[in-house]
Amino acid sequence: MNQRYLLCFLLGLALIIYGLPRLPLHETGLAYLFAVLWMGFALLVIGGNGAALLYKRNQTKTNAQFQSKHKREAKKVKRYVR
């Protein structure tokens, strides 16, 4: 799954690098609106995939720490079942 996020992140960067010089940022009207919206959506894609990459890495560390702590506490506590 991380590979997909990384691939989408890199493709988003490639789109920005390729498309930025070709966008009509000095025009007026609909052309300018299209350029601004295109850049906004491209930045959303890059930001979302970057956040997913960073969150996924932190989440696996947090889960491992929680599970090891939970196992240590489970050994200490006696369980009474009725």
Q: Note the pLDDT tens digit of each residue in 22-47.
A: 999 899 999 999 999 999 999 999 99
pLDDT at 2: 78
Question: If you search the block for the tokens 């560390």, which residue do you land on?
Answer: 61
Tokens 């009509």, located at residue = 24
**pLDDT in the model for residue 45:** 93
SS3 category, 47: helix
Q: What pLDDT shows up at residue 3? A: 87
pLDDT value at position 56?
Answer: 72
Helix or strand run (H / E) with residue 79: none
Structure tokens at 50: 């970057």
Q: How far is it, in rounded angstroms, from Cα 37 to Cα 39?
A: 5
Which amino acid does the sequence have at 79? Answer: R
Residue 56 one-letter amino acid: K
Give tens-digit pLDDT for 44-80.
999 999 999 888 765 666 666 666 666 666 666 666 6
